[in-house]
Structure 1
Amino acid sequence: MSGTPLILQPLSCPDARFGSRWVGRRLQFALTARLAKRVSYHFYDGNPLPEPGTCQPCLVTVELHPEQHRSDACWAWETEWPDGAPLPERLTYLIEIEHADGSRHRILDPWARECWGGERWEQPLAFVQTANGDLQIRVRPHGFRFEGMRRLATVRPEPESRHRPAKPKLPLEQSIVYETHLRGLTRHASSPVLPAERGTYRGLISVLPQLRKLGVTVIELLPVFEFDECENPQKHPETDQPLVNYWGYSPLLFFAPKTSYAADPRNATAEFQEMVDAVHEAGLEVWLDVVFNHTAELDEEGPSDHFKALDPESWYLHDSGG
C-alpha cells in the first residue's frame, strides 16, 4: 500500500485502550498526554523492512481536536476502515504533540506492542520527518545523540484466537531457575541450532530438550522487550569498534518483544508467543527480567523518545535538583 493515499475520519472513542489495536474493522488509539494542546498521528506503510537511503511517503496525517478526542489527560480516537478495503497488514506511525509553549515533539507510542526500525541487530537507523511529512531513513552513529527517531510504532490486525497451553503452576520453593540471555544462549557457532535461528526465539525452542535434561523448571530471560543495542557510545579500546548494549536494561518499549530476536523480524510477536507456548508445553515456566528504574531515555542528557516529551514529571522520579 506504499504511496496509497488514505482518508481516516477520527471518531471519538473514550473506551480505547492505551496504544493502538484493531477491533474488527475499527482501528483504535489512546495516549495520555496532559501537557499537550495538540496531538496528531502520521501514518506510513510498515510492510517493507526499513532500508537506509530510502524515503517513506506519509500516507495520511490525522489531527485530533481536544473538544472531541480529549478527556482529562487522555486523547483517544478510532476510525472505521473503509468498506470493501482490505485491512492493512502493517501500519507504522509516529505521534506529534504540541505543548502550550509552542514546542513540538515527535514521539514513539510508549504503549506500542510492535515497532519498526530495530529489525537487524546492530544496524542503527534514524527516521527523519521532512516538511511534507515523509520519512527519510538514515544510518545513524552509535550512541544516544542523533537526529530523528530510532523506532516507530506498528499496528497490525489481531491474529485469530487459538488455543494456547496453560502455564505450569509449580511451587516456588521447588523452582530450579536457569537465567539466560536469549540471543547469547544459541548464537555461538557451536550451537546445535539451525544457523538462521541462532540467537532467536525459535533458537530457544530448539534447546528445550537439553534444558529439561538439566532438571530446570524455570527459564528466566534477561530483557526481551524492545531496546536499542546501539545506544552505547563507547568503543573497544583495542579495535576501536563500537560497543553495544548487549544486556538490554534500558527499554524503549515495555510491551513489544525485541524485534531483532526473531528469525523473521516481521513476525516477532508471533515468534515470541510460539516460544512461550513451547516452553509451557515442555512443562517449564517463563520468567521475564523487567527493570523499571531506567529506560532508553537515560538521564537528562539522553534522548527523548516518548516519556520526556509527554510528561517527564509524571513518568520519572525527580530529586530536589530537578
Structure 2
Amino acid sequence: MAGVPVTLKSAWRIAVIPPGHNLRVVRVDIHHLRLVVTVAETGSITAAASRLGVSQPALSAQIARIEQALGCAVFVRSRQGVALTSAGEMVVERSRSILDSVDQLVTDAAEFEHGMRPLRVGANRSPFFASLLVELEYLLPDRRITPIVDASSSVITEHLISGELDLVIVGVHSEFEQPLPAPLQEIEFIEYEPFLVAIAEDAAPPSRPLTVPDLANNAWLLPPGRPDGTDEALTNLFAAQGVKLRAPYGRQGLSDYWPYVAAGNAVALALPTYEPPIGVRVLPLAGNPIVGRRVVRWHPDRVDRSEALACARSAAAVYEAHVAAAASRYSWWNQLSDHHPRAARDLWS
C-alpha cells in the first residue's frame, strides 16, 4: 500500500512506518517517552543528559531516532537550547498522560499487594466533603482514597453506576429520585434536609421564614451543574403560586457569588451547612417546601457494607459539625426547630 503509513503495535511499544520508509522499524517505549519529557522540561539536550546520567551525543542520537519513529520533529534545535514544535507539544502532552498512567499502575499494584486497595469516592462539591475526606482517610487506613466531585448528584451517581466510582456521598430529592439499579446499595445518613435561602442582609425580613411573595421580585442563581431536581422544585414552588421564577444569571456556584448576593443582585438556595459571609443572611422557607436527604451509595463488589456504614456514620458526624458552625450565624435557629435537618434515626442501631 504505497503512500499509506503503517502502524505496528505491541505491549508498551509503538512502531510507525511512514510512507517511503526503508522499513527499518524503530520502537518507541516508555523509556523513550521519559527521555522526550525530560528534554522538554529542561529545554536543553545538555541539561537533560546531565539529569538522566547519559552523554549529550548519546541522548541527541536517541532523540533523533525517536523523532524518526514518530514520523515528526518533536524539537527545534538552536544555540539557546531546544523548543517544542507544534507536533512536539502534542507528543509531550500525550507522553505525560501515558507516564502518569503507568506510574499510577505501578503504585496501585504495589499498594494492592500490600493490602492497600484504592477507593474512588464521589460527592457534591462542598466544604463538608473536604472535611469528610480527612475523616475517611483516618477511618480507612488500608484504602487509598481518590476523590471526584461534581455539582450534580445525578452525575456523581452515574459515575457510580458506570463503575468509575466505588462509593458516593450525595444529596438527593425524594420527589425527583431515580431508582438505584442493582446491585448498588444505599444508606441514608440525613433523612431530612430543608433547603434555605441566601439573601442580602438589608433585604431580609426579620427572623422569620421567607415566603414566595417575599421573593417574587428577586433574580435567582440556579444551582450549578446538571439539573437533578433542585431547580425544578424551586420552579414548581413559584408556579404553584402564580409566580414565574426569574433566573437571568443561569447556573452559578453560590460560593463564588456570595458578594453578588450580599449586594442584593440575586438570591439563591442554600443548605444548613452553608456559613454566610458578612452582608448575607440565610433564612428558611415557610413550610419547608423543598427538602432533600443525604445518602451513601456504593457497589458491594468494591466496598464492604461495614465500610459503607462507617462512612455514613462519619458523614453524619461531619455534617452535624458543619451545621452547628453555620447555625451560630443564624439568628432564627433556636426559635425555629422545625427547619432543622435530621440525622437518620437507625444509623447507629
Does the alignment reach a TM-score above 0.5? no
TM-score (norm 2): 0.23
Which has the greater radius of gyration? 2
- Whose strand proportion is higher, 1 or 2? 1
